[in-house]
Amino acid sequence: MTIADDPYLWLEEVTDEKALDWVRVRNAATTESLAGDRFDATEARVREVLDTDARIPYARRRGRFLYNFWRDAEHVRGIWRRTTMDEYRTENPAWEVLLDLDALAESEGENWVWGGAQVLRPDQQLALITLSRGGADATVVREFDIDSRTFRTEKDGGFALPEAKTDIGWIDADTVFVGTDFGPGSLTESGYPRITKRWRRGTALTEAETVFEGAARDISISAWHDRTPGFERDFVQRATDFYNSEIHVLDGHGLTRIPTPTDASTSVHQNWLLVRTMTPWTIGETTHPAGALLAADFEEFMAGSTALTVLFAPDEHTSLHQYAWTENYLLLVTLQDVRSQLHVLDPRARFAYLEVRKRRTTDSTTTEIIGTDAEENGDEFFLSSSGYLTPATLLLGNADAEPEILKQAPAFFDTEGLAVEQFFARSDDGTQIPYFVVRRTDAEPGPTLLYGYGGFEISMTPGYSGATGRAWLERGGTYVVANIRGGGEYGPQWHTQVLRAGRHLVHEDFAAVARDLVTRGITTTAQLAAQGGSNGGLLMGIMLTKYPELFGALVCQVPLLDMKRYHLLLAGASWVAEYGDPDDPAEWEFISRYSPYQNVVPASQRRYPPILIATSTRDDRVHPGHARKMAARLEELGHDVSYYENIEGGHGGASDNAQLAFKTALSYEFLWQRLAQS
């Protein structure tokens, strides 16, 4: 099918009334078909998990305050609040409410969704708050006076920006770096800022001083200020594609590029430069492998030194998952066959590993760094640990003490008789693909839900989900997570080998896991379902059109599906480095083999499993036209397709807990109905 032959292009008109009428008809049909007592019960139980006050109030530490954004049944859109560490340690902390989003939304007649806050330190009197309409990526930015609990308007000399995909950050109390929609030509083809400026309080945005301009084909341009005392620096980043960036030191009006590989992750802390390699890097007489973490003295490196210290080197089973600085130490989290391990390194002792602080988690839990505050709280760090059957635990760590438990989440479902196992499936090229299985120890082959993503070096590590537990596991379902290539479970090469022409490996890996589940007797083909969203939604579309015989049902959420036009829709141009350029005939040749929308065949030729396709009208990252057109095409050719589109919700598919509970219940009820009919 060529673009000229596409009969459903009109469905790409996001807010066109004809297109929205098409959506409403299908929403009603899907909702009616899945409605009933079981759906209501699932929705209510999931909503209870989302709204309960027993959840851990994860907070970001900024000096003496811990800031938290909180939603519950009373605060549907949420409240931004803060407390002290002494209060936070108590069972029921006293919170100081700074902003009530429900009250703001009502007073302004807008469905505001929280986007975050940047608090200016050390005084913590001002914040830059981002809000979106309905959960979109595009946000408005407003300066907030914490002491008076009011927004500063432009008339008051406050920083305020209209809706756009904006990048903004404090330099000092009267100056910010900003990249936004400055007018025609100021955005890249991906819709992100092409220009970054220095904007001073009390001046018009049109008077802001340009710091750097990128090219239209770049992904984005950004700038930021490092206010570490004694190491104050400004930086500018030019992202030339999704995986390549140039980072420059900004000195007045001059730019000096940091000469590290453009595909590496480069960061500066005090006098240390850290480089995490994505591909092998030869510097001096040494070649460092992909996935290594290297350190250098920043000033010496900028002066031409090639001396690097190896902090981490990967092996066949072990990769670097996270790293973060405290004031005096460097924290690493590694994955060994998708099992996490925490390390603390001392740069004052040539980055020696402090073995006494080495902390390994169990096979089915993951520990992750969720926050440090090197600026004002020294070597303190926060960790979160959870697993498929283990509710989250929040820990407070320090390099010279065993981490203490601050908060523990309650169990939201009964785990008695459940166990977690890890297996490996052999993909078509012989690669061993790990996957986790959560099921009853005495389970017979039965309803099984396989989840996958496979892209952008995002690792699928064990984690607790009260919703999955209540809606699936408690009812006797088996839950499976596949660690397919495209993720980062085994370092950058686990991802880079599937870029562009290698994309077929992702699909082959997922299909191999599906087959292995049946071969091992964990489930049957008729009772095996799969689910994925975004890039994982693309994966579901490929399973539907290339491997339909492996599944009894599919759930495809906020997906890419028309890979002929994905780069022309919203942020799609930024993903060409991942998938390839469909306008290049050589690259369209391999993309066309799997693009779901172009590969649908009539039901009379090939039977597809029933599929639920769900998206959001307000998703301004992955265009809802992908989902709409695919559903229309499947309907036209006689397939069993259910469709639901949330009119709000952004790329996450929901803008509040009520919508999220409803969306979750739809997916699970669809699966229980379809698998029972198989």
Rounded distance, CA 190 to CA 575, Å?
Answer: 9
Q: What is the pLDDT of residues 546-582, one digit of tens each?
A: 999 999 999 999 999 999 999 999 899 999 999 999 9
Q: Assess whether pLDDT exceeds 70 at residue 654.
A: no
Would you say 496 and 486 are in contact if contact means Cβ atoms under 8 Å apart? no
Average pLDDT over residues 88-109: 97
Average pLDDT over residues 27-55: 95
How many Cα atoms are found within 13 Å in the side-chain-facing hemisphere of 579?
26
CA distances from 566 to 456, 495, 560, 561 (A): 16, 20, 7, 8
User: For residue 43, what pLDDT band results from cuts at 50, 70 and 90?
Assistant: very high
Which of 360-364, 383-387, 462-466, 628-632 shows the lowest mean pLDDT across its residues?
A: 360-364
Percent of the chain at pLDDT exceeding 70: 97
Two structure tokens written together for 618: 């307000």
Rounded distance, CA 322 to CA 342, Å?
Answer: 9
φ, ψ for residue 87, nearest 5 deg = -70, -40
Would you say 98 and 117 are in contact if contact means Cβ atoms under 8 Å apart? no
In the chain, helix, strand, coil percent, each to 5? 25, 35, 40
Average pLDDT over residues 440-452: 95
Would you say 483 and 435 are in contact if contact means Cβ atoms under 8 Å apart? yes
Alpha-carbon Rg for the chain in angstroms: 25
Average pLDDT over residues 404-427: 96
pLDDT for 356 equals 39
Q: Assess whether pLDDT exceeds 60 at residue 136.
A: yes
Could you state, in order of their start, the residue ranges of all structural domains in the chain? 3-48+412-677, 262-306, 315-409
Would you say 331 and 306 are in contact if contact means Cβ atoms under 8 Å apart? no
Q: Assess whether pLDDT exceeds 70 at residue 154.
A: yes
Q: Assess whether pLDDT exceeds 70 at residue 360.
A: no
The letter for the amino acid at 131 is L
Q: What is the pLDDT of residues 241-294, one digit of tens each?
A: 999 999 999 997 789 999 999 999 999 999 999 999 999 999 999 999 999 999
Would you say 26 and 615 are in contact if contact means Cβ atoms under 8 Å apart? no
User: For residue 513, what pLDDT band results from cuts at 50, 70 and 90?
Assistant: very high
pLDDT for 651 equals 63
Rounded distance, CA 540 to CA 653, Å?
Answer: 17
Average pLDDT over residues 618-626: 91
**193 DSSP 8-state letter:** B
pLDDT for 321 equals 96
Would you say 675 and 138 are in contact if contact means Cβ atoms under 8 Å apart? no
Rounded distance, CA 364 to CA 359, Å?
Answer: 15
74: CB partners within 8 A, 6+ apart:
none
Which of 89-98, 167-176, 358-367 shows the lowest mean pLDDT across its residues?
A: 358-367
167: CB partners within 8 A, 6+ apart:
177, 178, 179, 180, 192, 193, 196, 220, 222, 223
Beta strands in 209-280, from DSSP E residues, in sequence order: 209-213, 220-226, 233-241, 244-251, 254-257, 265-269, 272-276
Rounded distance, CA 615 to CA 666, Å?
Answer: 12
User: For residue 371, what pLDDT band results from cuts at 50, 70 and 90?
Assistant: very high
φ, ψ for residue 218, nearest 5 deg = -65, 165
Rounded distance, CA 509 to CA 511, Å?
Answer: 5
pLDDT for 377 equals 87
pLDDT for 431 equals 98
User: For residue 652, what pLDDT band results from cuts at 50, 70 and 90?
Assistant: low
Q: Assess whether pLDDT exceeds 60 at residue 319.
A: yes
Instruction: Identify the burial level of 315 via C-beta atoms within 10 angstroms of its C-beta, where 0-12 means exposed, 13-18 middle and 19 or more buried.
Output: exposed
**Can you name the residues that pair with 96 across neighbouring β-strands?**
82
Q: Assess whether pLDDT exceeds 60 at residue 653.
A: no
Prior bond of 122 cis (ω within 30°):
yes
pLDDT for 544 equals 98
pLDDT for 365 equals 87
By annotation, the residues acting in catalysis are: 534, 651
Of 9, 121, 24, 8, nearest to 67 by C-alpha is: 121
CA distances from 302 to 233, 257, 259 (A): 14, 9, 8
User: For residue 143, what pLDDT band results from cuts at 50, 70 and 90?
Assistant: very high
- The three-class DSSP label of residue 277 is coil
**587 DSSP 8-state letter:** H
Average pLDDT over residues 490-494: 96
Two structure tokens written together for 613: 């396709």
Class for the domain spanning 3-48+412-677? alpha beta
218: CB partners within 8 A, 6+ apart:
188, 194, 238, 239, 240
Which of 30-34, 163-167, 238-242, 616-620 shows the lowest mean pLDDT across its residues?
A: 616-620
Q: Assess whether pLDDT exceeds 60 at residue 647.
A: yes
Q: What is the pTM of this model?
A: 0.91
pLDDT for 358 equals 42
Two structure tokens written together for 60: 């970001």
Q: Assess whether pLDDT exceeds 60 at residue 363.
A: no
Q: Do the strands 220-226 and 233-241 form a parallel or antiparallel pair, or are they unpaired?
A: antiparallel
How many Cα atoms are found within 13 Å in the side-chain-facing hemisphere of 634?
24
224: CB partners within 8 A, 6+ apart:
169, 177, 234, 235
Average pLDDT over residues 608-622: 94
Would you say 453 and 559 are in contact if contact means Cβ atoms under 8 Å apart? no
